[in-house]
Chains A and B, each alone.
Chain A
Amino acid sequence: KAGVTQTPRYLIKTRGQQVTLSCSPISGHRSVSWYQQTPGQGLQFLFEYFSETQRNKGNFPGRFSGRQFSNSRSEMNVSTLELGDSALYLCASSWGGSLRTDTQYFGPGTRLTVL
């Protein structure tokens, strides 16, 4: 079965612009989580969606938002981009979102560069 797919894989934007990243989970998975990975801050949790509802949110400013559709596909949006938003954005999916019983599968990520 197909893995987690993220589009686009690479993106270049300029400061002040906004960007939307997309994540298609593994078929049947209802939980989608987003992480930001940077050399300075490492891997940081952004938010998690389950059945179109945000269940948890990390410590990121309101410029970072997301949503999940009825088919479990998720998008994250970053408005008013800053240089520090340059990062690899990873999406992960699991069936129910419980790491105790489920395995979370990560996509290859979207590499965002802000100039």
Chain B
Amino acid sequence: AQSVTQPDIHITVSEGASLELRCNYSYGATPYLFWYVQSPGQGLQLLLKYFSGDTLVQGIKGFEAEFKRSQSSFNLRKPSVHWSDAAEYFCAVEDRNTGTASKLTFGTGTRLQVTL
């Protein structure tokens, strides 16, 4: 079965510093990968997704992620973090065994704290 691991439960960075959130997946075929962000008291918002093609994916809010098949990773990056980026970030993989139905398997999340 597919799975997603986010090894960092909590990360603290200073505003203006660069950010990298780690995500490792386990999936038999080419995975469809996603990053979502959840602000306190809010639902999830899609940051970016990868299905095929260029392994460097650009998303909203200045985020990007790079798919590395050899490392089974899909790390999220941002060159300069803003205080408003403080939130919880979830990596997810789509379970394609469901056919046309959409089903995501999520990682446990990484909580990002931004210090001023």
Contact = CB atoms under 8 A, between A and B. Distances in A.
A104 B43 contact: no
Interface string A25-37: 0000001010100
- Helix, strand, loop or mixed for chain A's interface? strand
B113 interface: no
A104 B109 contact: no
B110 to A, nearest CB: 12
Interface stretch (A11-19, A50-58, A60-68, A71-79): A50-58
Contact of A50 (B36, B49, B101): B101
Contact of B98 (A43, A44, A56, A100): A56
A97 B107 CA distance: 21
A58 B94 CA distance: 13
A103 B34 CA distance: 11
Interface residues of A, number: 28
A99 B41 contact: no
Interface in B30-74: 32, 34, 36, 41-46, 49, 51
Interface string A99-113: 110111111110000
Contacts, number: 64
Contacts of B46: 103-105
A109 B94 CA distance: 21
A48 B102 contact: yes
B108 interface: yes
B49 to A, nearest CB: 7
B34 A99 contact: yes
Contact of A106 (B32, B45, B109): B45
Given A43-B92, A90-B43, A108-B42, 12 more contacts: A33-B103, A43-B90, A43-B106, A43-B109, A45-B105, A55-B99, A56-B102, A56-B103, A99-B104, A103-B46, A106-B45, A107-B43
Interface of B: 32, 34, 36, 41-46, 49, 51, 90, 92, 94, 98-109
Counting from the closest, the 7 A-B pairs by CB-CB distance are A106-B43, A55-B101, A56-B101, A43-B106, A106-B44, A99-B102, A97-B102
